[in-house]
Amino acid sequence: MLNRRHLLATAGAAALAPTVSWARAGSPGPLAMLQPDASLTGEDARLDRLMMGNFVENLDRSPESATSLGVDVGPRAAQRSQLNDRSKEFVEARRAEAPGKLAELRRINRDALSPAFKVTYDVAEFQGVGAVERGKLGYGAGFGIYVVSQQGGAYQSLPDWLDTQHPVKSKDDADAYLSRLGQLGRALDQESERVEIDAGKGVLPPDFVVDKIIAQLAPLKDTPGVSAHLSTAFEAKAAGLGLSGYGAKAAELIDQSVRPAAERQSALFKRLRAKATHDAGIWKLPNGEEAYRQALRNFVTTDDTAEEIHNIGLEQVRELQGRLDPMLRAQGLTQGSVGERLKAFGEDPKYLWANTDEAKVQLVESLNDQIRDIATRLPRVFTRVPRTPLEIRRVPPSIEIGAPGGYYQRGSLDGSRPGAYYINLKDTADWPKWGLPTLSYHEGMPGHHFQGSILQEAGSLPLYRRSGGGFSAYSEGWALYAERVAADLGVYDDDEAGKIGYLQSYLFRATRLVVDTGLHHKRWSREQAIRFMMDNAAEPAGSAEREIDRYCVNPGQACSYKMGQTVIAALREEAEHDLGAKFDIKAFHDTVLLSGAVPLEVLKRMVRDWKASRR
């Protein structure tokens, strides 16, 4: 019923790149952070040069990442007026180079590396193996299966990215915005070409996803440039700089380039709709079983099989429902299954916000209150609390239909843009008051914002480690574990309804393990998966549909939350048992947080090495 979360995937790696601030006194400038560490020697220096070289090469190829990181300055200033290349030639070239990149890494002598650089090596090798495997499939986009979906593609991500991440602080910035806006149509056409190529291989989203793509393309193709948010919001920013006529220029570009490309993409999907099937899982695609194995490895970052993950999910659903049963009975809910009683609890009018714009403003402010409260408690279990500000925002109404329930967007590299988490308020009935605190703790603090900001402000890792490797099981696992940390800090001591919301959040993630593997491994239908989520986690029908449709186009990612949290919680329990009085919760959290995002198998080694040192 609540807490639908997903890292925003705008413009590929740009959205996943954490912010790293140099704005404090005595800290290096952005371009200086793109140089290898001259103080290193031996194999550490060799690996550092290789990693930084690859990182800079990727920045050269991704102007959008350069802007998101704030390094599109000085000799890189031209990147501020460019968009990423999304052509088939570019994608094919990246697939072709992956084996060579992995071979180059493996020429490094891992045994001769320091402990910190062994972690860097293991992270890079995991990524390299994944890139080679994905390249062999020969279809898809990065970690995604489909080039364009209801949750991915230039049409869906770039308008928001241009509005929220492209800076407009000078005339040069405004001119660069117009240049990028003029390239948006090309980006759409490049992806349309790849969609058609993949469709020829039998790679096409399910019919219900195609319908959502067509619906979401409609505003982009049908809204006149003069009325489009891409021009009106830009007009206001330019006017604030004393620039006139910029909104009209943007409107002309939209009408001449963007809208026609959106119309072409819409027409393509309308034509392909006849070929789309209703089968929801990627087992139907060429080499589909291998594609799902890769997806699980990429997102879960362990060797657990689909069958094992499915059974883990079933066991955790039973355990969590067992904990919720007496709590719901204490609320007077004694009839029906746990899922039915949770549904009734979530529909109680006293826990619902009105579905009005005024109430939605109040809802967002209540989330800010929760963040302010938890911030005062965090020093009890963490050695440091981040200084980077956090803003809570509503998901833009124009993309609510396909957007997840909530997601976090990291700030800019120079600290000028704060971190933000977004909540989808299409229907406030999806967010009963007893469930909202866990959203704040997951997306904000001590979850995503906390984890990313701590890494940013510590400044102890090279930029390529702070900016690379989404590792969903680590980041989403941490954010889900962070909900438990909030509970440990007493946020629910006087809030029995909030305790139910906390456990329901975990139950929701456990059901994800079941339905994701059900769809892609056991060949469940879309309707079967929706029904399981409604019956077991009390998801409203509309929300359950959006969730399941998300899992259909992004297989494996939904498993990362509960699998990641399960591993982190087990590592803590293991350390508490083995260390006894020597266990230090702050030191444990530092060990998990300060080395950045890593695969879970690497995290296990790191925590066990720390545990051995504490002995």
3-state SS assignment for residue 392? strand
Q: Please tell me whether the peptide bond between 446 and the residue prior to it is cis, using omega within 30 degrees of 0.
A: yes
| Structure confidence at residue 461 (pLDDT) | 84
Give the pLDDT band of residue 23 (cuts 50, 70, 90).
very low
pLDDT digits (tens, 9 = 90+) for 164-190: 889 999 999 999 999 999 999 999 999
| Structure confidence at residue 408 (pLDDT) | 81
Give the pLDDT band of residue 459 (cuts 50, 70, 90).
low
Residue reference for tokens 């509960």 = 562
Instruction: Summarize the confidence of residues 575-600 as an average pLDDT.
Output: 95
Closest CA to 360 of 409, 390, 396: 396
Contact 499, 435 (CB under 8 A): no
Instruction: Summarize the confidence of residues 280-300 as an average pLDDT.
Output: 96
Give the CA diameter of the chain.
Answer: 69
| Structure confidence at residue 412 (pLDDT) | 60
3-state SS assignment for residue 188? helix
pLDDT at residue 355 tops 60: yes
Lowest mean pLDDT among 353-367, 369-383, 388-402: 388-402
Residues sharing a CB contact under 8 Å with residue 8, sequence separation 6 or more, in sequence order = 15, 407, 408, 409, 422
pLDDT at residue 20 tops 90: no
pLDDT digits (tens, 9 = 90+) for 237-279: 999 999 999 999 999 999 999 999 999 999 999 999 999 999 9
Give the pLDDT band of residue 553 (cuts 50, 70, 90).
very high
pLDDT at residue 415 tops 80: no
Instruction: Summarize the confidence of residues 144-158 as an average pLDDT.
Output: 94
- Say if pTM beats, i.e. exceeds, 0.75: yes
Residue 209 sits at the vertex; the CA angle it makes with 302 and 142, to the nearest 5 degrees, is: 40
pLDDT at residue 22 tops 50: no
The pairing of beta strand 390-394 with beta strand 419-423 = parallel
pLDDT at residue 11 tops 50: no
pLDDT at residue 282 tops 60: yes
| Structure confidence at residue 463 (pLDDT) | 86
pLDDT digits (tens, 9 = 90+) for 216-238: 999 999 999 999 999 999 999 99
| Structure confidence at residue 5 (pLDDT) | 34
Give the pLDDT band of residue 283 (cuts 50, 70, 90).
very high
3-state SS assignment for residue 5? strand
Residues sharing a CB contact under 8 Å with residue 319, sequence separation 6 or more, in sequence order = none
Average pLDDT, the chain: 91
pLDDT at residue 82 tops 50: yes
Contact 425, 395 (CB under 8 A): yes
